[in-house]
Amino acid sequence: MIQVLVDTDILSYYLFKNYPVLTKNFNNYLNTVGYINIARPTIFEVESGLRAKNAFGKLEIFQGFITKHKILELTEHSTHLSAKIYATLRQTGLHSGVNDLYIAGIALENNLTICTNNLKDYENISNLQIVNWLE
């Protein structure tokens, strides 16, 4: 099974929405691998969104969930990769969100496939593998 880095949307959908296909794929992965990889910028995105909505019950669920999984930090190398991605996209007139660039750099550094439903955020990044568990 390919190793994935779960993007913010997939993690939020899994925890707080009802998508049977996603739940099946997510649980199959967890049963096989035992944990998911979560990038530190994803934690920032989910936590800041929940705090902005005063969704403290969901925040507690989220914080409990991530303690059981592998958190991947920004490193010097992943930040360098993210900067290269940014420069390439900018030179070609394309763009992506800063957190998406950080997440992509972390995925590339760790040889992980991004699991996302936000294909447009990542589709223009060379050498980045993408999978969508909602399909």
pLDDT at residue 18 in the model: 96
Tell me the pTM: 0.95
pLDDT at residue 104 in the model: 98
pLDDT along the chain (135 residues), means of 10: 96 97 98 98 98 98 98 98 96 91 98 96 94 96
Q: For residue 104, which of 7, 28, 2, 1 has the smallest C-alpha distance? A: 7
d(CA 101, CA 35) in angstroms, rounded, equals 23
Angle at 70 between CA 67 and CA 74, to 5 degrees: 110
pLDDT at residue 95 in the model: 82
What are 93's two structure tokens? Answer: 């007139």
Supply the DSSP string of 72-92, one letter for each residue: E---HHHHHHHHHHHHHHHHT
pLDDT at residue 96 in the model: 86
* DSSP 8-state code for residue 2: -
